[in-house]
Amino acid sequence: MDNIVKVLVTMASAVSVGFGIWHFFVPKIWNWYAYIDARATELILAIRAINVFFSLSLVLVGVQNWLFAMGGGANRYSVIALLAATSILWLVRLVIQLRYPQGSINPLLQYGMLLAFSWVFFCYIISLCIIILKSTTG
């Protein structure tokens, strides 16, 4: 695998894992449950479960991307499939941030998130394009 792909995937994966770890603490940091009626226990449990699943997914996908890019055992097809799925996920997150921006109470947070999501998406999509072009040209 090209060194540029390894660097791009490593950086994007580190950010993905970082977002995943950080998101485990988001409900506490932003006091999510204060906005929900305490009697809505099913809703609280559902939000908690979704957040844990989402956070763990970000961590696992980030680690998996990094392992596939750095390890010599993954074939091109597997790397392409994983990077394509990851690129689509980050593209969707980027589009959501553009359409329905989060962090709008603080422009630094809002545009920082937009920049981070864009950066991660472009790291993954550029890596994917390099691998696809290399596999079709030789």
Q: Is the pLDDT of residue 1 over 90?
A: no
Which residue range(s) make up the domain with 99? 3-137
How far, in Å, CA of 66 to CA of 79, rounded? 10
pTM: 0.91
Of 6, 11, 13, 14, nearest in space to 130 by CA? 6
The proportion of the chain whose per-residue pLDDT surpasses 70, expressed as a percent, equals 99
- Helix-strand-coil split of the chain, %, nearest 5: 85, 0, 15
- Report the pLDDT value the prediction gives residue 138, as an integer from 0 to 100: 59
Q: Which of 69-78, 86-95, 111-120, 124-133 has the lowest mean pLDDT?
A: 69-78
Whole-number mean pLDDT of the chain? 94
- Report the pLDDT value the prediction gives residue 74, as an integer from 0 to 100: 85
Q: Is the pLDDT of residue 105 over 90?
A: no
Q: Which helix (H) or strand (E) holds 37?
A: none
Q: What is the number of other CB atoms lying within 10 angstroms of the CB of residue 117?
A: 21
Confidence of residue 23 (pLDDT cuts 50, 70, 90): very high
Residues 45-66: tens digit of each pLDDT = 999 999 999 999 999 999 999 9
Q: What is the DSSP letter of 36?
A: S
- Report the pLDDT value the prediction gives residue 73, as an integer from 0 to 100: 81
Q: What's the total number of domains in the chain?
A: 1
How far, in Å, CA of 48 to CA of 40, rounded? 12
